Amino acid sequence: MDGQTHMCLPKSMGEMLLGNYRENLPIVIIRPTMITSTFSEPFPGWIEGLRTIDSVIVAYGKGRLKCFLADPNSVLDLIPVDMVANAMVTAAAIHAGKLGSQTVYHVGSSCKNPITFEQIHDLAASYFTKNPLVRRDGSSILVSKGTILSTMAQFSFYMTLRYKLPLQMLRLIYVIYPWWNGNKYKDIDRKIKLAMRLVDLYRPYVLFKGIFDDTNTEKLRLKRKEINKEMYGLFEFDPKSIDWEDYMTTIHIPGLITYVLKK
């Protein structure tokens, strides 16, 4: 028994308990991937708090993240939250009363409409270049393209050479001259800790090579169409309907800025 992160393991254990003790109850397990802001309902871009990859996007937009550990070609399995909710409602309606059944639905985009880390990086860079965040003093935060390092060894070497060694020099100056203004030291130290924390949190995802099979979810979409063709346009959860460039630059990132950063 294994879990990709501390969150995945208890979910897996919960599924096994349901399987062992369900008796004749109908069980439907929904496995969403990385959940992002709403695609359309109740309105595009709604989100509460920073979710999954959003912490990286926001840190980059604020100019606090100059490099990151990731395989540029790694697929990030994103899915808008309203599509997850729609899949749950549809599955509950279709499986109601089917005693003894147990079905697992992977709700994600990696199989039908994948987007890579490099694509997200490019879209975020393009967005914040055209629409920079603003500091409290009114000045714009200018972002550079940033550096993507594909192995932990490369990332550690880069961080040591680019940040940790200069930080130790600043620390030495601060010890020798305690009256010296240590804001520069504190700023670099903050950036290093943030980068390391984000890498530790997202390493299982940004280096992940897997694609989740959503065959059952596709069957669920087709079943919904068979039952009521007129209602097919409602409760949409087809990832193929997402234009990632449009979604990221006109819905998701603006939603983060509006509903999370409150700007």
Q: Which residue has the higher pLDDT, 71 or 175?
A: 71
Give the chain's domain count. 1
In a domain, residue 127? The reply is yes
Per-residue pLDDT band for 3 (boundaries 50, 70, 90) equals very low
In a domain, residue 3? The reply is no
pLDDT score of 226 more than 90: no
CA 192 vs CA 49, 124, 160, 172: distances in Å: 23, 21, 10, 17
Q: What is the pLDDT of residue 172?
A: 79
In a domain, residue 196? The reply is yes
Q: What is the pLDDT of residue 124?
A: 94
CA 82 vs CA 75, 207, 226, 242: distances in Å: 21, 27, 22, 12
In a domain, residue 1? The reply is no
One-letter amino acid for residue 261 of the chain = L
One-letter amino acid for residue 96 of the chain = A
CA dist., res. 198 & res. 208, Å (int): 15
In a domain, residue 2? The reply is no
pLDDT tens digit sequence for 56-90: 899 899 988 887 888 888 898 999 999 999 999 99
Task: State pTM to two decimals.
Answer: 0.80
Which range marks the domain in which residue 163 is found?
8-260
In a domain, residue 55? The reply is yes
